[in-house]
Amino acid sequence: MSTMNISLPDTLKSFVDEQVSQRGYGSSSEYVRELIRRDQDRLQLRNLLLAGASSAPTEPVTETYFEGLRDRVRGAAKVAGKTRRQS
């Protein structure tokens, strides 16, 4: 694991210390890592949404589509159950 040192104004340092204490983090490093992970997740979601928004339009999703999806999932679950019993 790499180390990174950051400088914060006293007000931000106090805020971080307060968050660590109130939210049960073991250290300020844990808190900062969690913030970075959340930002990564947010950026990934944003990129997925942008990709979806710029993709070609598809057919409207109907109840028939969902029923077919349910049937496929049920079929896959049955196959997986048989495979486990045979092992």
pLDDT digits (tens, 9 = 90+) for 43-82: 999 999 999 999 998 888 899 999 999 999 999 888 887 7
d(CA 65, CA 20): 46
Question: 13-47: per-residue pLDDT in tens?
Answer: 999 999 999 999 999 999 999 999 999 999 999 99
Quote the pLDDT of residue 58. Answer: 87
Given a contact cutoff of 8 angstroms between Cβ atoms, the answer to whether 34 and 23 are in contact is: no
Spans of all domains in the chain: 8-56, 60-87
Is there a contact between 28 and 17 (Cβ–Cβ < 8 Å)?
A: yes
Q: Copy the structure tokens of residue 40.
A: 């990564």
DSSP SS3 for 59: coil
Please tell me the predicted confidence (pLDDT) of residue 87: 63
